[in-house]
């Protein structure tokens, strides 16, 4: 499995100067390092992971979101979710979401809000001249939705770097 930390750090459990600096800058999180190590171990048993890339890992109160390479989601999910179940066990998470890294807002959102839909995306010009995009999604009941709107906003920011506003369509 490809990760964003170096082999030395993955294998020794120590942090080299370069990786430590990235941790300080916030480009890398403690949680990501932990997940990268655990999944590299798991890779010995699950061969599908050996050709996959892990870009980031986010922990939102027991819900874990793995940001993976394009086309890699199925490698982390497996047949009928068998691999995802194993990963969940190893990471001890309540819920696991696999999102493929993508710079396209629509494709990232579709992965996050499925099975709900994007109704429209509009632009808002702010007083300081910057532009923000506002997304309106189809109504979701709290039970059905895997993530809250705030969590979706946070993940979008991490994956695409874009700060969005998100609303549910009022009926």
Q: Contact positions toward Zn ion, by CB under 5 A?
A: 6, 9, 16, 19
CB of 66 to Zn ion, least distance (A): 20
Beta carbon of residue 76, minimum distance to Zn ion (angstroms, whole number): 23
Nearer of residues 9 and 97 to Zn ion, judged by Cβ: 9
Give whole-number Cα distances, 122 to 89, 128, 139, in Å.
Answer: 40, 18, 18
CB of 98 to Zn ion, least distance (A): 25
- Which of 19, 109 has the CB closer to Zn ion? 19
Of 1 and 109, which has the nearer Cβ to Zn ion? 1
Nearest to 3 by CA among 162, 91, 163, 27: 27
Rounded least distance, CB 15 to Zn ion, Å: 6
Q: Are 55 and 15 in contact (CB under 8 A)?
A: no
Q: Considering the complex, what minimum distance in angstroms separates the CB of residue 142 from Zn ion? A: 41
By C-alpha distance, which of 74, 6, 88 is closest to 39? 88
- The smaller minimum CB distance to Zn ion, of residues 1 and 19, is found at 19
Which residue of the chain is nearest Zn ion when measured via CB? 19
Neighbours of 125 (CB within 10 A): 9
82: phi > 0 → left, psi -120 to 50 → alpha, else beta; which?
alpha
> Among residues 10 and 105, whose Cβ is nearest to Zn ion?
10
- Nearest C-alpha neighbor of 160 from the set 127, 125, 121: 121
């Amino acid at each position: 499995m490809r990760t964003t930390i170096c082999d030395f750090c993955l294998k020794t459990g120590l942090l080299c100067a370069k990786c430590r600096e990235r941790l300080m800058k916030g480009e890398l999180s403690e949680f990501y390092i932990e997940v990268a190590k655990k999944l590299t171990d798991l890779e010995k048993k699950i061969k599908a992971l050996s050709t996959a890339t892990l870009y980031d890992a986010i922990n939102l109160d027991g819900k874990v979101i793995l940001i993976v390479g394009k086309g890699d989601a199925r490698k982390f999910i497996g047949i009928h979710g068998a691999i995802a179940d194993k990963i969940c066990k190893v990471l001890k998470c309540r819920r696991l979401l696999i999102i493929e890294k993508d710079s396209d807002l629509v494709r990232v959102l579709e992965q996050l809000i499925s099975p709900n839909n994007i109704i429209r995306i509009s632009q808002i010009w702010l007083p300081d001249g910057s532009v923000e995009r506002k997304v309106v999604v189809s109504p979701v009941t709290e039970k059905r939705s895997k993530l809250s709107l705030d969590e979706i906003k946070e993940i979008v920011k991490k994956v695409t770097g874009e700060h969005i506003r998100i609303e549910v369509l009022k009926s």
